[in-house]
């Protein structure tokens, strides 16, 4: 259980470590609301496809495994697209082509093939949730950093997802009229993504160093003595 959680969120994070699904990741993360919309849609698809793939894993032969997975994923994506079009129309318009393109997010097919087709339904659902959450968190980080650096706001346009009450959530820490173009443009996405990966690697490196420091250092020059019984 905790292994699956840790894998999805950190050690094997689909975006930061596996580097899967970078196309929508980099393209739509101009603001938090875009990132959240695409991240949630991806997560739903991932959970749904993982569950179904796990349910049918004993009934589908290897030869037609991949086409069946692709059909399942495409179905979920199309449903997600229709639902977003029905209930979050403006967000649907902003995300545009990147909603149908969730189907090509290799993270989803990758999890179906590598995990869901080999594990029980519960574990597959958990894996889908955790991988989706890991992806969503990276999307939100990217969106927040780019929105803040690029147009000086945070949580702008949240009403697209949460209704009219969210209109007042917008924060402007730098005041009006601030903008830093490159952060909104694609190069900004690559730069911020690079920094996020570097930070993750640095944290991993620190953890490793600390783990090594905690191990008792072997005493230099100590002789190996063969003993029997207890040494007191």
Options 56-64, 133-141, 198-206, 220-228: segment touching other proteins (CB under 8 A): 56-64
Closest CA to 77 of 54, 109, 55: 109
Q: Judged by CB under 8 A, which of 11, 23, 89, 201 binds other proteins?
A: 89
Tell me the torsion sign for CA atoms 99, 13, 34, 169: positive
C-alpha distances out from residue 182 to 25, 27, 190, Å: 17, 13, 11
Q: Judged by CB under 8 A, which of 23, 185, 198, 199 binds other proteins?
A: 185
Closest CA to 151 of 182, 126, 112: 182
Q: Judged by CB under 8 A, which of 9, 55, 68, 106 binds other proteins?
A: 68
Q: Judged by CB under 8 A, which of 23, 71, 199, 209 binds other proteins?
A: 71
The answer to the question of residue 170 lying near other proteins (CB under 8 A) is no
Options 69-77, 115-123, 165-173, 219-227: segment touching other proteins (CB under 8 A): 69-77
Q: What is the DSSP letter of 154?
A: B
Q: Judged by CB under 8 A, which of 11, 120, 170, 179 binds other proteins?
A: 179
Rg of the chain over all Cα atoms, to the nearest angstrom: 22
Draw the binding track, 139-168, toward other proteins (x: CB under 8 A; -: no contact).
Answer: -----------xx-----x-----------
Residue 170 C-beta: closest distance to other proteins, Å: 12
Q: Judged by CB under 8 A, which of 2, 3, 58, 86 binds other proteins?
A: 86
Roughly how many angstroms between the first and final C-alpha of the chain, as a whole number?
A: 40
Q: Judged by CB under 8 A, which of 5, 75, 104, 159 binds other proteins?
A: 75
76, 48 contact by CB (below 8 A): yes
Residues that bind other proteins (CB under 8 A): 30, 59-61, 63-64, 67-68, 71-72, 74-75, 78-79, 82-83, 85-87, 89-90, 93, 150-151, 157, 179, 181, 184-185
């Amino acid at each position: 259980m905790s292994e699956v959680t840790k894998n999805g969120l950190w050690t094997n994070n689909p975006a930061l470590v596996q580097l899967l699904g970078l196309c929508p990741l980099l393209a739509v993360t101009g603001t938090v609301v875009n990132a959240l919309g695409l991240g949630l849609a991806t997560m739903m698809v991932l959970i749904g496809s993982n569950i179904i793939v796990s349910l049918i894993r004993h009934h589908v032969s290897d030869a037609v495994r991949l086409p069946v997975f692709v059909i399942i994923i495409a179905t979920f994506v199309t449903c997600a697209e229709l639902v977003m079009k029905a209930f979050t129309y403006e967000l649907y318009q902003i995300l545009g082509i990147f909603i149908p393109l969730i189907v090509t997010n290799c993270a989803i097919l990758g999890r179906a093939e590598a995990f869901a087709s080999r594990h029980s339904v519960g574990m597959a659902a958990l894996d889908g949730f955790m991988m989706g959450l890991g992806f969503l968190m990276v999307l939100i980080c990217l969106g927040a950093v780019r929105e803040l650096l690029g147009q000086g706001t945070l949580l702008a346009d949240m009403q697209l997802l949460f209704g009219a009450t969210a209109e007042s959530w917008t924060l402007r820490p730098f005041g009006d009229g601030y903008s830093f173009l490159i952060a909104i443009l694609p190069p900004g996405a690559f730069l911020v993504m690079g920094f996020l990966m570097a930070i993750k690697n640095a944290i991993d490196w620190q953890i490793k160093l600390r783990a090594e420091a905690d191990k008792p250092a072997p005493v230099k020059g100590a002789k190996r003595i063969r003993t029997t019984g207890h040494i007191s």
